[in-house]
Chain A
């Protein structure tokens, strides 16, 4: 397995270097105002390389931990004939620093997955270095007329809201994992029929983690009077789930929401999870976002277990009410500042996440951000401390 990963990685890197040379010349063309090429290539390689520095600060007077990560994503897209697309994406992460050497759970926490088929593994491991590679997308997509079939590792994106997605029953993601921009996928088969320009019906079946039962569900999407709506029904693991979501407007503001009800199964009682979000952008780019999540039967896991485990649509947060508030501002089109916050109402814990993104060049971006987690003793975020991240990203 490791050998396969290694060879794919080396090959893909070589291809991406070649493609980069071509892209560079195209970028120069654009500046010189010659016509950009309109046709989509049959074979496309894209991705990025990121360097991420993390400083973990349990408390100002405690010992700080310094970590580094070089993160490469390679996306390969092959269209042999119109309508048929093969997509493969690979996530390669090289970790080095104190956590690798000192945290005995580091490997387990970093490589944990809910996938049925784990196409990843540790390629290299020394005391202070870890190289992990994983294919998180590997699917074949076929479209003919209004029909679409996608089979393989894919992301089934049923969410409508910004932070929490109770409708995202196949591959929920954690808002805290900001560096996983593409978010996790799932091993699934999808059949979609487009019923109109803004309407579709789809049925998806996914394989659960080994031993799990998987998820089967159908989704109907529609648009009525300026609002996108959706309803879903299915079975997630061993409980029934019904849900609905929408994206519309309230005067000039965006108004979105999702509700899901997960039926009882085993020891878990029937659970209602609902989310509503409002966003408004002022003419001067100042953006406000307010989102609320309620959960009738939150999972009472301890903080560390909760924060290091992959989330599901049923366990998005371990409080019955959580509120998200954010303010964003474009200082210039190249410099964007943002402050995210989460307030857990039950246990009075909170999360603050200021960030500044600086676009250095067309394809190079610098992000400086912090995560401050705190709250009453015993609450979700208490005793976790703060993190400061500096990330340089180059896309190709």
Chain B
């Protein structure tokens, strides 16, 4: 456990300064892109629009993450869902339902389910770092996305990895190692979802994509758009912040540093 954390810390803190992008392996590129997006720890305020041909729904939430395997998210609007919260510790997830004041464990099958009715799954939201840990990565070549030259990387799940996808294709900016696009494919290789990372701009001291669009391949007129409004990468919650204690209660002064 300690060694894993130490390794993660080393990967996260040493590679960005010591290794130029050209000498990174595909797996290191994926890890670096992830860390460029998330930092070692972050606190973000986010809104999401779920867009369907005949309706749209909006929601807002605050999200904390640390060291790839700790995450906490609390919904702030709409009123109907306000206070609903999610906790991730490694591969386990919990859901706080304020109406019945209960913590409910999320089963592996529920991980593949839509997150709050959007085109993101619980797994996309809670187990984001799984793209580093649960897949093997191969560099397929280079390809531009929205005019930016990108590495095109194929990610295939490791045997017995607890993931839902058959294959994931990633496009990572060659110059800035920022993720620009991802394609999620099923076991037959058919395209299920495409995630576009857009509006790359400085926020909270880092340059990150601030708009994420998840577009399902087989459903026309349907997508979910996540917009990051503010980000604080200097937030240094202790690991103990990611606990059932925090999950249950939103404090007036939620610790942010």
Contacts and interface: CB of A to CB of B under 8 A. Distances in A.
A335 B118 CA distance: 14
B57 A40 contact: no
B77 A26 contact: yes
B158 interface: no
A46 interface: yes
B252 A194 contact: no
A252 B109 contact: yes
A348 to B, nearest CB: 31
A226 B250 CA distance: 25
B109 A362 contact: no
A331 interface: no
Contact of A253 (B58, B107, B227, B244): B107
Nearest to B227: A33
A203 B102 CA distance: 17
B243 A38 contact: no
Interface stretch (A210-218, A259-267, A281-289, A298-306): A281-289
A30 B244 contact: no
Nearest to A84: B252
Interface residues of B, number: 51
B257 to A, nearest CB: 13
Contact of B99 (A34, A182, A196, A333): A182
B105 A248 contact: yes
Interface in B99-146: 99-102, 104-105, 107-110, 112-114, 117-118
B229 A157 contact: no
Interface string B199-223: 0000000000000000000000000
B23 interface: no
A198 B229 contact: no
A334 B56 CA distance: 10
Interface stretch (B29-37, B78-86, B175-183): B78-86
B230 A334 contact: no
B79 A194 contact: no
Given A197-B244, A228-B105, A38 B55 contact: no
Contacts of A228: 105
B52 to A, nearest CB: 8
Contacts of B28: none
A17 interface: no
A94 to B, nearest CB: 21
A85 B249 contact: yes
A89 to B, nearest CB: 11
A362 B78 contact: yes
Nearest to B107: A254
B99 A31 contact: no
B122 to A, nearest CB: 10
Contacts of A148: 245
Given A36-B76, A396-B79, A197 B89 contact: yes
Interface string A28-50: 00110111111110100010000
A3 B42 CA distance: 50
A334 B80 contact: no
A254 B105 contact: yes
A252 to B, nearest CB: 4
Contacts of A252: 107-109
B4 interface: no
Interface string B56-68: 0111101000000
A281 B60 CA distance: 26
Nearest to B47: A30
Contacts of A71: none
Nearest to A173: B100
Contacts of A67: none
A228 B100 CA distance: 19
* Most chain A beta-carbon contacts within 10 A, residue among B79, B102, B114, B249: B79
A23 interface: yes
Contacts of B2: none
A247 to B, nearest CB: 4
Interface in B243-257: 243-245, 249-254
Most A CB contacts (10 A, CB to CB) among B80, B82, B227, B254 go to B80
Contacts of B101: 155, 157, 182
B15 to A, nearest CB: 28
A27 B39 CA distance: 30
Which of B59, B118, B245, B249 lies at the interface centre, i.e. has the most chain A CB atoms within 10 A of its CB?
A: B245
Residue among B45, B105, B229, B230 having the largest count of chain A Cβ atoms under 10 Å:
B105
B108 A251 contact: yes
Given A33-B47, A198-B89, A281-B109, A333 B80 contact: no
B240 interface: yes
B164 interface: yes
B124 to A, nearest CB: 14
A146 interface: yes
A333 B78 contact: no
Contacts of A249: 107-108
B242 interface: yes
Contact of B109 (A181, A253, A332, A363): A253
Given A39-B252, A197-B239, A247-B104, 18 more contacts: A23-B79, A26-B77, A30-B77, A35-B229, A46-B79, A157-B102, A183-B100, A197-B240, A200-B244, A226-B92, A249-B108, A254-B109, A282-B109, A285-B113, A330-B114, A332-B52, A359-B57, A396-B79
Q: Which 6 A-B pairs have the closest CB atoms?
A: A254-B107, A333-B117, A35-B229, A197-B243, A36-B60, A362-B78
30 contacts: A23-B77, A26-B77, A33-B229, A36-B62, A38-B76, A40-B252, A40-B254, A79-B252, A82-B252, A157-B100, A157-B102, A182-B99, A196-B240, A196-B243, A197-B239, A197-B242, A198-B244, A226-B91, A252-B109, A254-B110, A283-B112, A330-B114, A332-B52, A333-B52, A333-B117, A362-B59, A363-B79, A365-B80, A395-B79, A396-B79
